[in-house]
Amino acid sequence: MSASAKIFSVLRAPRVSEKTARLQEVTNQYVFEVSNDATKADVKAAVEQLFAVKVEDVNVVNVKGKNKSFRGRSGSRGNWRKAYVRLADGQAIDVSATA
């Protein structure tokens, strides 16, 4: 597996919401959806390589999927994992950029 394939297998997508926008402004933290088996070290290496920034801290959270019903049938959304990545002072990532 190439280095770029490894990065994209760890980082799935940035999470953009009002809460994450506030975190970016106040504490310089960015939130990413990551693979379920990604470790803190994996996330740190992937973010540093992909965005060329210095990562100070990574916190990882397992998010339990919600139970939903559709047309009388109950089901559940999948569990997923997110990472809060805090960058060094003066560093920034443009998560709203489109490819």
Q: The domain spanning residue 63 has which CATH number?
A: 3.30.70.330
Number of domains making up the chain: 1
Q: Rounded mean pLDDT of 52-63?
A: 95
Q: Does 97 map to a domain?
A: no
Give per-residue pLDDT as tens, 12-52.
Answer: 999 999 999 999 999 999 999 999 999 999 999 999 999 99
What residues contact residue 24 under an 8 Å CB cut-off, 6+ apart? Answer: 30, 95
Q: Give the domain range for residue 59.
A: 3-87
Q: Does 94 map to a domain?
A: no
Q: Does 93 map to a domain?
A: no
